[in-house]
Amino acid sequence: MPDPARVGSQATVFGSLAAANRNAYVTDKQPAQITSTITWIAGAVALIVAVSLPLGYFALSYQYQVGEVGTESQFNAKRVSEFIKANPESWRTQESRLIGFLVEEDRTETEYPEQRLILGAGGEKIAVSGAALVSPPVISVREPVMDSGKTAAYFEVSRSLRPLLAVTALVALFGLALAAALFAVLKIFPLRALNRALISLRQSEQLFSQAFHASPDPVMICRAEDGRIINVNKSFERLTGYTLLEVVGRTSGEVALWTDEEVMAHAKQRLQLDQPVHNLEMTLLTKSGELRDMRVSSEITEIGDAFCALTVARDVTEQKRAEQRMIYLANYDHLTGLPNRALFRDRLAGAMQRAQRAECLVGLLYLDLDRFKQVNDSLGHQVGDQLLKQVAERLRQCVRLSDTVALPPVAREESFGSTVARLGGDEFIIVLEDIRHIDEIACIAQRTHSEISQPFDLGGYQVFVGASIGITVYPFDDDDLDNLIRNADAAMYRAKAMGRNNVQFYTGDLNAHAEERLWLETALRQAQERNQFELVYQPKLNLRTNLIVGVEALLRWRSPRNGLVAPDTFIPLLEETGLIVPVGAWVLRTACGQAAAWAHAGLDLTMAVNLSPRQFYDVGLAAVIRSALDDAGLPADQLELEVTESLLMEDSVSSQTALANIKRMGVKISMDDFGTGYSSLAYLKRFPLDTLKIDRAFVKDVGVDLDDTAIVRAVIALSHNLRLTVVAEGVETREQLGFLREARCDQAQGYFISRPMDAASFEAWMMEHYEGQTAGMIQA
């Protein structure tokens, strides 16, 4: 409740509110006053008309009659004077003659009764004409009759005005009728218009009241003279928490509604100058202490007979938050809260400018996570997202404590230091400012690399990932922003090419490698569309039967610019870019189709196809395999998928699940390059394998190197105990083949048997060297 000392008692508050309402709205008393005034004016006009018509007529007629009687008296007095001059001695004795003379000389045509007299100089009657008695009211005019300059007699005319009174009475009746008509016109029509106006006004008031109280925006009405609140609507009460009784009679300053004193002062100044305020950004303090962003409009308006400030405030808090959210999303990564690529570029540009002024260095660390794809595909995107969040947090901790690591927009003291940003996917970048020596950059890079190499606990999974980090330094390596990013990216790819999980500084020769890589990546994206990929097939020899029992499909790229490109040049790039997934699907379809064609021709061979890590962990792999088999019409047991030992051991649990899914389709599974990884032999019995391939590194020196010889014999014996077929790779000499046959190895492949060939060459080779095996083969 408001302070009683400032607002007064509750009765005073209600009195103020009632007064405000009287000033703000048209009351029932005001129409009655207006009706009375209109009636009084109509009555006055009617009275004037009713009185003025008969009075005016009577006055004008009276003046006319007076003038006429006077003229008649003057004329006749002159005639009598002439008669006296003619009969100076006897005119008095000639009464009959005078009477006849009076009648003869009566030239006035009038309906009014009148009497004419000739009187002696002493007033005695000498002659009389007309009525003996004229009914009043009467007008009389007496003119002297002159004889030799002396008054000899008088001529008098008396006329009755009774006919004039009768006509005046008729005029008065007409005036009354006209006055009554005027009264009706002057009262009824204005009152009808007034009633219509009042009805419209009341409707407007009702609409205003409804709009005032139903408005979703807070509305406040204040007296213009002192700013004291007269009324507020329900939205105001809901938003601010103040009731009408708590604010009426007080100013917004006394209630402490607004926190922006300067803005308030500006608004008051404009209103004092009768200038409206539109969409002023202000902050509202509610009763509960909550701050709300408002957009305020106010203007001076006349309500009733008082000038008031009508203020409408729109709550834009959520809109502001949405705008801030949009700004945040435009500049920050929504998953990690780190700056995104756009904000990173802005931060790097600012860092370069400050470094130029301060004559110091800027370090740029381009970081790509190793094995993130495998984690994301095998454990799911939720685990992958957790990993990215934890990596972001570790990167924040890795930079110097004095650095300001960019976080989501929160209140903090603005300073400059290191910026950690996420460029997308599993790529991060760090901007190091205020660097005085390059060793500082190396120290932070090593700290970062070491920290990322530590295990991550991801909801019950303990995951190891590494980081390939490329470093470039401004202004040593370049002074252009885009070139610096390109340099760091090239250094990062050098780190990947050198075995991943290491740190590399940029050197000038990396640009050439980067350009070549860019060309390769672009050309690879076009290669499949332009049918530049092809398959070659390397046969597998059964060492007991000396028959060809299968082939391994190998991918080749015939580039229009470079010719036949080495597999170790483009296959890693296919893997990095993810192109290996669609290209691998093409390999599966083509290889299965070729195996089915040979089987239809009478040559039953097992088709071996290599799976890359991205293919193996791709969620659509099973569907791709099933589609390739169904489209070709190839039995599942004639397809063998080769996976490397290191791939299986990266995530043994997920690998075991994926292999089981493949095995259920009836497809054979082979572990490639056995002996080059770090697997435990115990894992061999856990994986649903059919074949074990001994790596060429061990086959190369069998029979010469005692260790390699012992290893090969042990692997063959172990595989047979596990009921696995053993294939030796890289057989290049007769001696190697003889040793493997003597050691009871099942199959062999290598250049000594045959180089990889296209399908047509393979068929010709089979016809030439294995005529018996192809005797029944149908030629295309």
What would the two tokens of residue 477 be?
């390596």
What would the two tokens of residue 614 be?
């991205």
Question: E strands within 437-486?
Answer: 456-458, 461-463, 466-474
The CATH number fitting domain 536-769, selected from 3.30.390.10, 3.90.1150.10, 3.40.1440.10, 3.20.20.450: 3.20.20.450
Q: Using alpha carbons, list the distances in angstroms from residue 753 to 20, 220, 757, 775.
A: 109, 96, 12, 20
Whether residue 503 contacts residue 446, with contact meaning beta carbons closer than 8 Å, is answered with: yes
Which pLDDT score is estimated for 552?
96
- N-to-C CA span, the chain: 101
Distance CA 372, CA 344 (A): 22
Which pLDDT score is estimated for 408?
38
Mind giving me the DSSP string for 320-372?
A: HHHHHHHHHHHHB-TTT--B-HHHHHHHHHHHHHHHHHHT-EEEEEEEEEESH
The partner residues of 554 in beta bridges, in order of sequence, read: 536
> Residue 336: which region, alpha, beta or left (left: phi > 0; alpha: psi -120 to 50)?
alpha
Residue 287 phi, psi dihedral angles, 5° rounding: -65, -30
Which pLDDT score is estimated for 17?
43
Query: How remote is the C-alpha of 123 from its chain's centroid?
Result: 116
Mind giving me the DSSP string for 104-167?
A: HT-----SS-EEEEEEETTS-EEEEEE-SSPPSSEEEEEEEEEETTEEEEEEEEEEE-HHHHHH
Mean pLDDT in each 10-residue stretch from start to end of the chain (780 residues)? 38 40 47 78 82 84 80 77 71 64 54 76 72 73 78 79 82 84 79 78 74 83 88 89 90 86 82 83 89 89 80 88 87 91 93 92 94 83 92 87 40 56 93 89 90 89 90 92 93 86 84 73 86 95 94 94 86 87 95 95 93 87 94 95 79 76 92 64 76 90 86 90 92 93 94 94 90 59
The CATH number fitting domain 26-210, selected from 3.30.70, 3.30.450, 1.10.10, 3.10.530: 3.30.450
Angle in degrees, 0-180, between the axes of helices 317-331 and 341-358, rounded to the nearest 10 = 70
CATH number given to 337-508: 3.30.70.270
Residue 706 phi, psi dihedral angles, 5° rounding: -65, -40
Do the domains at 337-508 and 536-769 have one common CATH topology?
A: no
Q: What is residue 91's DSSP assignment?
A: G
Distance CA 216, CA 348 (A): 46
Which pLDDT score is estimated for 777?
60
Max Cα-Cα span within the chain: 204
Is CATH 3.40.50.620 the right assignment for the domain spanning 215-315? no
Give the neighbor-by-neighbor strand order of the sheet with 150-160: 125-130, 114-120, 150-160, 138-147
Q: What is the pLDDT of residues 264-289, one digit of tens each?
A: 888 888 887 878 888 888 888 989 99
Domain segments of the chain: what residues?
26-210, 215-315, 337-508, 536-769
Q: What is the pTM of this model?
A: 0.48
Whether residue 466 contacts residue 371, with contact meaning beta carbons closer than 8 Å, is answered with: yes
Secondary structure of residue 376 in the 3-state scheme: helix
Query: Rounded to 10 degrees, what is the CA torsion of 351, 353, 356, 358?
Result: -70
Residue 144 phi, psi dihedral angles, 5° rounding: -75, 145
What would the two tokens of residue 439 be?
């060793």
The partner residues of 339 in beta bridges, in order of sequence, read: 332
| Preceding peptide of 613 cis, ω within 30° | no
Q: What is the pLDDT of residues 312-357, one digit of tens each?
A: 988 888 888 888 888 888 899 989 999 999 999 999 999 999 999 9
Q: How many CB atoms lie within 10 A of CB 644?
A: 21
Q: In one letter, which amino acid is 406?
A: A
Question: What does the angle CA 686 – CA 689 – CA 692 come to, to the nearest 5 degrees?
Answer: 115
Distance CA 73, CA 157 (A): 6
